[in-house]
Amino acid sequence: MSFIGIYLLTLLAAMLLVGLLKPSGKSVVAVCGTLALSVVSSVPAVGALMGQTFASGFAGSFFTGPVRVVIDPLAAWFILVINFTMITSVLYGRQYMQAYADRRSALSLHWMCYLLVHAALTTICTMQNSIGFLVAWELMAFSSFVLVIFEGDKVSTIRAGVNYLIQSHIGVALLTVAFVWVAMVSGTYDFSGIGQFVATQSKAACFGLMMLFFIGFAFKAGFVPFHTWLPHAHPAAPSHVSGMMSGVLIKIGIYGIVRMLILINVNYLAVGYFILAISVVTGVYGVMMAIVQHNLKKLLAYHSVENIGIIGIGIGIGCLGLGYGNQLLAIIGFAGGLLHVLNHSLFKSLLFYGAGNVYQATHTMDIEHFGGLIKKMPQTAWLFLLASLAICGLPPFNGFVSEFIIYNGLFGGINASLSTASVLMFVAAMAGLALIGGLAIMCFTKAFGIVFLGEPRHNFHSQPAEFGFARLLPMYLVGLLIVAVGLFPQYFVSALQTVLAQTVGGATHQSVLPLCCGAMKWISWYMIGFVILVALVYGLRSLCASRLPKAEGDTWGCGYLAPTPKIQYTASSFVRSYRRLAKPLLNIRKRAVDVEGVFPSPASYSTEALDHTETGLIHRPLRFFRLMLNKLSFLQNGRLQNYILYGLLFIVVVLGVPFICHIIRVFINYLNTLL
């Protein structure tokens, strides 16, 4: 039996068993099914990374034509990233969903759709037929929509899911237009038709086609301004689904962009500058919005936008390297971007798993209610801290590796640039990347400090407690890989060699490995040595202090005789200075209740950060649309005779327009005969 047959049989068997078994067995089958699908697809993927491309297919139909399935190095890299994150997500989700064991039918649909999303993501990476690609894309969009709205009894969850589904289909519509355009020119729906399109059409047409594909995929990836679904869908979904969506689902948009860059021989300089510019804006805007969020999962969602910007910066550098004919610059750019695909899937999924632990222990995501959770949930706190350090790009963790490579690409771009404008562009991108890193450190200092440190700010109905080993195991697996990438980057960059050769269209430059890995490896090990040195000094100090007599007394309370948790920093007060500086760029809504009267009501103060893009591109047009519909409400007046009249008018228009067009055509022909 072929690879495709085994894969489909495994998927169908797992979905059937999920529907038949009891709730306790559904999650077990989901875990086993995910593991089986991952093994079946990982074997040819590993072979593809070693240079053995897998190709298969089937006849298809008269409409689709032959349907090819190919696992080349680029597809293999994304398949392996998808498989690892799907495995850790289902292991975590099995424990997370035990809180919903009473929802039997909902759990059946949930795990079925989880398996469908996994299969659809893999299919998208391997499909070389545009009809099959769009079918798999639609399957992925609808299945993930079902996963997002698992808690459909909440109005906000349904609203977030519908928002996601609508914007996903806008992207699908753009991709459909692009594929149909290619098919009209080439006469085939196979991806080989894209090469025929490029060979026969002008550079402007190729650039337009690339922009259609880019925007269509950008909706899924979350580039600004196509990101507005993401901060709503991620918080609404269960935490393992949020980790999966942020870890791999949005990366399928990155896959589509890179795939089309390989297939479409476009003006890489123009595309590179465009991607670099929009990526810098995406990264900076994402982290700026993340800082002022009070919902922990929404904060993490905006950091997904930020990291998509970082990946885009790497891809933009790679395109500029191709445009300038600088192979080394192209390799460094794509290496940084593609490695960050893996790195972001690791630390972001770990952060969402940690947020899920916090949510199920406290039943809230409001950062202002947290505090001191490190004493109640120490393992979750340390794992969250590990992922926070990684996402900030600090050594010796994986985020530092890919961002260091991208910095190398920006410096290389400055040295290789042939014009003042290009130098300024690279300098601006470098400043943007540095700003992203600095603001990310500020944001996660706030997030970790307010959530896990200090004293509790809220009395929960039940005391938060740490979860068991089965819940923490997938988190430890992700944490180990985060550290492994940081300490041994050479192995992961080596795995990208065939991918980079395919991306840049030739043999990779041999000096890229020592350039990208030599300095990073030693920086990471030096950091490990520094941490060990600090631990030794602290241990020696504790040992010496233990032999000295101790005097205990009350700590000076700064004049407060009865300290309360209210005198601690809140999430709002922690970023107040930043909020005032960034106020012209942010849309902050304040709600305050002042103390008034002899018997005043409790005073309160809160802030809410609104997304300028969402307000301008969605809310205002919708308000205008509702206003126009309200002005036409007189048509719906409840009178039967008016409704009959509307039907008659419609028939007259349908019959009359073609008749009028025919009369006009006859008149024009008559004029032509006279002339």
371-408 pLDDT, tens digit per residue, is 889 999 999 999 999 999 999 998 889 899 999 999 98
Question: Do the Cβ atoms of 436 and 284 come closer than 8 Å?
Answer: yes
Residue 72, pLDDT > 60, answer: yes
Of 65 and 512, the one with more pLDDT: 65
Q: Which residues contact 468 (CB under 8 A, 6 or more apart)?
A: 95
Question: Do the Cβ atoms of 75 and 341 come closer than 8 Å?
Answer: no
Both tokens of residue 73? 């190095």
Domain ranges of the chain: 3-529, 586-631, 642-674
Residue 275, pLDDT > 90, answer: yes
Both tokens of residue 31? 């875990």
- Picking from 246, 418, 256, the residue whose alpha carbon sits closest to that of residue 321 is 418
Note the pLDDT of residue 357: 95
- pLDDT tens digits along 205-255: 999 999 999 999 999 999 999 999 999 999 999 999 999 999 999 999 999
What is the number of residues in the chain?
675
Q: Is 417 helix (H, G, I), strand (E, B) or coil?
A: coil
Mean pLDDT, rounded, for 518-532 = 75
How many Cα atoms occupy the beta-carbon half-sphere of 69 within 13 Å? 18
Q: Is 229 helix (H, G, I), strand (E, B) or coil?
A: coil
Residue 1, pLDDT > 60, answer: no
* Relative orientation angle of helices 378-391 and 469-487, to the nearest 10 degrees: 30
Distance of CA 663 to the CA centre of its chain: 55
Cα torsion at 32, 38, 40, 42 (round to 10°)?
-150
Residue 601, pLDDT > 80, answer: no
Sign of the alpha-carbon torsion through 188, 194, 196, 201: positive
- Picking from 179, 262, 163, 264, the residue whose alpha carbon sits closest to that of residue 219 is 163
Residue 514, pLDDT > 60, answer: no
CA atoms of 226 and 617, how far apart (whole Å):
10
CA atoms of 157 and 56, how far apart (whole Å):
40
Note the pLDDT of residue 517: 59
* Helix, strand, coil % in the chain, rounded to nearest 5: 75, 5, 20
- pLDDT tens digits along 307-360: 999 999 999 999 999 988 888 889 999 999 999 999 999 999 999 999 999 999
- Picking from 284, 291, 303, the residue whose alpha carbon sits closest to that of residue 349 is 303
Residue 226 dihedral angles phi and psi, to the nearest 5°: -100, 25
Quick one: 488 exposed, middle or buried, by C-beta within 10 A (0-12, 13-18, 19+)?
middle
Q: Which residues contact 116 (CB under 8 A, 6 or more apart)?
A: 11, 15, 139, 140, 143
Both tokens of residue 657? 């327009």
Mean pLDDT, rounded, for 467-482 = 94
Quick one: 368 exposed, middle or buried, by C-beta within 10 A (0-12, 13-18, 19+)?
middle
